[in-house]
């Protein structure tokens, strides 16, 4: 299947999920997760109209970003961030979705080049419990959000979660609901959040039903990756 055909199918599914949840389609951003996908295929995706892309591995991403620098694309770093990668993320990405501790946020803030707009940030929350290694604890999420919102060079936009790969559909859905509750609590405090990043190829309809505003789709758009690379708990 070509990217355009897969995009059509995914778009139909998104529209159906939005209709079922009585939500407007334009409140759900489709992020194409492009780890392991070469630039030539991303160019094809861009031609099909896709503009937002997510990459996990900085080393893999940088040559791809420069190969596609002629296109007006929006790059999201997704997943865990090692401290030795913050400078590259701050310099080359529009978004960092895997921020789960203040030390990383502070480095990103200090390293964001002054000529660029603030780096958009989602705090990654571990709502899967023991089964997941990355993300801050739900009980720490609001304090971390408050601290990040005060940093220059960053714009806190919302929350992100990645259910543990072992979770059942029902458990994943419960974790989406829990993330939504933290998001609502942050907004009730007056934080100007607009992004709830949750849902992947196998569970994005449930995520949309629970209020996702950004879904991160890899295999449903690009085809299956190698088995070992499906969920990335490994550091970037």
Ligand X SMILES: *Cc1c(COP(=O)(O)O)cnc(C)c1O
**Phi and psi at residue 144, in whole multiples of 5°?**
-65, -40
Q: In angstroms, what is the minimal distance from the CB of 54 to ligand X?
A: 7
Q: Which is nearer to ligand X, 177 or 231 (CB)?
A: 231
Stretch that binds ligand X, among 5-13, 63-71, 138-146, 195-203 (CB under 6 A): 195-203
Total residues found in the chain within this entry = 236
Give the contact letters, 101-140, x = binds to ligand X (CB under 6 A), - = no. ----------------------------------------
Q: In angstroms, what is the minimal distance from the CB of 79 to ligand X?
A: 4
Q: Which is nearer to ligand X, 6 or 201 (CB)?
A: 201
201 makes contact with ligand X (CB under 6 A): yes
> Which of 150, 232, 136 lies closest to 182, judged by CA?
136
Q: In angstroms, what is the minimal distance from the CB of 74 to ligand X?
A: 16
In sequence order, which residues have a C-beta less than 8 Å from that of residue 61 and are 6 or more positions away? 55, 75, 77, 92, 93
Distance CA 87, CA 108 (A): 7
> Which of 174, 78, 181, 75 lies closest to 122, judged by CA?
78
232 makes contact with ligand X (CB under 6 A): yes
Stretch that binds ligand X, among 17-25, 44-52, 178-186, 200-208 (CB under 6 A): 200-208
Q: In angstroms, what is the minimal distance from the CB of 215 to ligand X?
A: 9
Stretch that binds ligand X, among 15-23, 58-66, 169-177, 213-221 (CB under 6 A): 213-221
Distance CA 162, CA 222 (A): 19
Handedness of CA 204, 208, 212, 215 (dihedral sign): positive
159 makes contact with ligand X (CB under 6 A): no
H helices of the chain, in order, are 3-20, 39-47, 58-67, 86-92, 102-111, 138-149, 169-188, 204-209, 219-222
Stretch that binds ligand X, among 81-89, 113-121, 171-179, 217-225 (CB under 6 A): 217-225
Near ligand X in 71-100, by CB under 6 A? 78-79
56 makes contact with ligand X (CB under 6 A): yes
217 makes contact with ligand X (CB under 6 A): yes
Distance CA 79, CA 160 (A): 9
Q: Which residue has the tokens 């079922």?
A: 20
Distance CA 17, CA 76 (A): 24
Q: Which is nearer to ligand X, 183 or 204 (CB)?
A: 204
Q: Which is nearer to ligand X, 68 or 217 (CB)?
A: 217
163 makes contact with ligand X (CB under 6 A): no
Distance CA 188, CA 186 (A): 5
- Give the binding site for ligand X (CB under 6 A): 33, 35, 56, 78-79, 162, 200-202, 216-220, 232
């Amino acid at each position: 299947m070509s990217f355009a055909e897969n995009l059509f199918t995914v778009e139909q599914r998104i529209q159906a999920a939005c209709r079922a949840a009585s939500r407007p389609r334009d409140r759900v951003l489709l992020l194409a997760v492009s780890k392991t996908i070469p630039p030539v295929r991303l160019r094809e995706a861009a031609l099909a109209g896709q503009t937002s892309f997510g990459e996990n591995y900085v080393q893999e991403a940088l040559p791809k970003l420069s190969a596609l620098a002629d296109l007006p694309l929006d790059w999201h770093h997704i997943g865990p961030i090692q401290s030795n990668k913050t400078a590259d993320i701050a310099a080359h990405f529009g978004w960092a979705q895997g921020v789960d501790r203040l030390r990383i946020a502070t480095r990103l803030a200090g390293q964001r080049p002054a000529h660029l707009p603030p780096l958009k940030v989602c705090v990654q929350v571990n709502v899967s419990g023991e089964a997941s290694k990355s993300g801050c604890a739900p009980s720490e999420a609001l304090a971390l959000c408050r601290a990040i919102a005060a940093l220059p060079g960053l714009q806190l936009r919302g929350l992100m979660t990645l259910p543990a790969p072992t979770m059942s559909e029902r458990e994943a859905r419960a974790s989406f609901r829990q993330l939504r509750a933290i998001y609502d609590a942050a907004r009730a405090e007056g934080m100007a959040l607009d992004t709830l990043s949750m849902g992947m190829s196998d569970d994005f309809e449930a995520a949309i039903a629970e209020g996702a505003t950004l879904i991160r789709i890899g295999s449903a758009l690009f085809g299956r990756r190698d088995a070992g690379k499906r969920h990335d708990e490994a550091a970037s």
